[in-house]
Amino acid sequence: MDIPALKEALEASPDNVPLLVLLARAEEAQFDLEDAAGHYQQALGFDPSNVDAAVGIARVLDYLGETSQSILRMEALCEKQPELASAWLLRATLALKEGQAKEARAYYERATELDNGLADDALLERIVKAGGTSAGPRRAALTPGGIVEEDWDADDDDGSFEGGDAALAHELELEFKSKVTIAFDDVGGMEEVKENIRMKIIYPLQKPELFKAYGKQAGGGVLLYGPPGCGKTMLSRATAGEIESNFFSVGLHQILDMYVGQSEQKLHQIFELVRSQAPAVLFFDEIDALAADRKDLKGSAARTVINQFLAELDGADASNEGMLVIGATNAPWQLDGAFLRPGRFDRLVFVPPPDEPARAEIARLMAREKPVIDFDPDHLAKKTAGFSGADISAVFDRATEATLPEAMKRGEVVPITGKDLAKQAKSVKPSTKKWFESAKNYALYANQSGFYDEVLDYMGIRK
């Protein structure tokens, strides 16, 4: 919309409320937020009942950092007009921002009940991932003033998808399934690690009939371990991209529940969902938190979750063929030994810090997304020995932060130079050193099975 033309029209009709709202929307779209807020408020001054202006100013106030004021306005509007779908939808977004996932889910469902055209899969996915699921020992019920809880009969759900529980399957899919858009070509360097993954993971899944001839099934469990920030999660996603399979990612916070038995049920439901969509990759990040040594958990409810996890890995009640379970951890020595037995996470892949060619490739990929000039990735790679991918990202972030003030002063993009990056590389300390200090002790003195031989090889140490 042409803002100058709208302003010119408004001069001729200054009390035209629809015109004020139209101008405010155009200014909001251009991020002229102060002007937009002023015109929305002006429209409300002429017509306090104008819902477009009421919702609009609340939205702009949130953009301006006045989220609490925005929430108060939406609470009041929902009280006055409980049938206003757009108010409930904005209220869902605000609740999610405040970390109130359960409330956000209830507000979202209210909005879409009133107006199905407002359905927003991206928003719903964010709500579900934040914990806003309707399944659980208690369910949220909505009143115009807020949330109350209703009792839920545990017999309503037996933890499986039998009986056509498509709603539960869809909900779990939204929470855990993600679209994979990368493959190994998008992961800088690490050719040796990639080839290791190909041999242990990809080829068995691509040629299952060949492995069957040797009495082996495709799938199983693989543990990626190494220093933080070196690409274990990205490698897992890229592995799914290489075999063109479904990818499901699970975090500890998405499993553990305060109610006894619910964590085990959730874990079983996730495995059932992934089995139903094989070939599929099921990825557990920071798996040491979910597969901790049971000797340290005497009397803890977490022991039963670990036992359930082991049972699912064994495929005690269902076949895991075609399902690859990948765990990533910075501390493999903290896992219960039962997880490393044959048929579970019996294939270990050490993911070391990227070597020099890999660092150059990572830097080249990162530079694509930024205004970088006079930049030699190979030169930066030489300056970042021992850096993880996350450390290299920190170099780019610091260079960006150092350049932004000048860009703000000029009102235009100021390029980041290779010299800027080299300068910032000196201020970033490799985060991998601390990990190797700990890993060295385990590799030297708790390595009877030879699990950590790759770490010793990388460090140039042999017992």
Contact 57, 28 (CB under 8 A): no
Q: Provide the residue type at 36 as one letter.
A: A
User: Is residue 438 in a domain?
Assistant: no
Residue with tokens 């977004």: 93
CA 354/CA 393 separation, integer angstroms: 13
Question: Which CATH number do you get for residue 360?
Answer: 1.10.8.60
Contact 440, 461 (CB under 8 A): yes
Same domain, 192 and 336: yes
User: Is residue 343 in a domain?
Assistant: yes
Contact 74, 91 (CB under 8 A): yes
Domain boundary residue among 133, 160, 189?
A: 133
Q: What letter does residue 337 receive in the DSSP assignment?
A: G
Class of residue 178 by CB neighbours under 10 A (exposed 0-12, middle 13-18, buried 19+)? middle
Question: Which CATH number do you get for residue 16?
Answer: 1.25.40.10
CA 375/CA 370 separation, integer angstroms: 11
Q: What is the pLDDT of residue 159?
A: 47
What count of other Cβ atoms lies within 10 Å of the Cβ of residue 25?
19
Please report, for residues 8, 81, 91, 332, the alpha-carbon distance to residue 31 in angstroms, rounded to integers and kept in the order given: 20, 28, 21, 48
Please report, for residues 11, 16, 177, 284, 449, the alpha-carbon distance to residue 435 in angstroms, rounded to integers and kept in the order given: 66, 65, 31, 20, 21
Q: Provide the residue type at 83 as one letter.
A: E
Same domain, 237 and 381: no
Domain boundary residue among 350, 382, 404?
A: 350
Same domain, 268 and 341: yes
The tens digit of pLDDT for each residue in 407-427 reads 888 888 899 999 999 999 999
Same domain, 184 and 310: yes
Same domain, 366 and 336: no
> Looking at 32-46, 244-258, 438-452, which range is the least confident one?
244-258
- Strand segments (E) across 214-332: 220-225, 246-250, 280-284, 323-329
Q: CB under 8 Å, gap of 24 or more: what pairs does 442-445 form?
A: 442/333
Q: What is the pLDDT of residue 381?
A: 94
Q: What is the pLDDT of residue 157?
A: 44
Same domain, 346 and 376: no
Q: What is the pLDDT of residue 302?
A: 67
**Domain boundaries, position 424:** 356-429
Residues in contact with 198: Cβ distance below 8 Å, sequence separation at least 6, in sequence order:
242
Same domain, 185 and 316: yes
At residue 147, the 3 state secondary structure works out as strand
Same domain, 203 and 78: no
User: Is residue 360 in a domain?
Assistant: yes
Mean pLDDT over 102-126 rounds to: 84
Q: What is the pLDDT of residue 304?
A: 80
User: Is residue 168 in a domain?
Assistant: no
Mean pLDDT over 383-405 rounds to: 92
Q: How confident is the model at residue 454 (pLDDT cuts 50, 70, 90)?
A: confident
Class of residue 51 by CB neighbours under 10 A (exposed 0-12, middle 13-18, buried 19+)? middle
Same domain, 319 and 236: yes
Q: Which of 2, 432, 448 is nearest to 226 (CA)?
A: 432
Same domain, 343 and 363: no
Domain boundary residue among 329, 350, 371?
A: 350
Higher-scoring residue by pLDDT: 107, 211: 107
Q: What is the pLDDT of residue 13?
A: 82
Contact 246, 256 (CB under 8 A): no
Question: Which CATH number do you get for residue 241?
Answer: 3.40.50.300
> DSSP letter string over 186-241?
GS-S-HHHHHHHIIIIIHHHH-HHHHHHTT--S-EEEEEESSTTSSHHHHHHHHHH
User: Is residue 449 in a domain?
Assistant: no
Same domain, 84 and 114: yes
CA 258/CA 261 separation, integer angstroms: 9
Q: How confident is the model at residue 27 (pLDDT cuts 50, 70, 90)?
A: confident
Same domain, 223 and 312: yes
The tens digit of pLDDT for each residue in 125-161 reads 888 888 776 533 334 445 544 544 444 343 444 444 5
Q: How confident is the model at residue 265 (pLDDT cuts 50, 70, 90)?
A: confident
Q: What is the pLDDT of residue 424?
A: 93
Q: Count structural domains, the chain.
A: 3
The tens digit of pLDDT for each residue in 278-319 reads 888 899 888 887 777 666 655 555 678 888 888 888 876 677
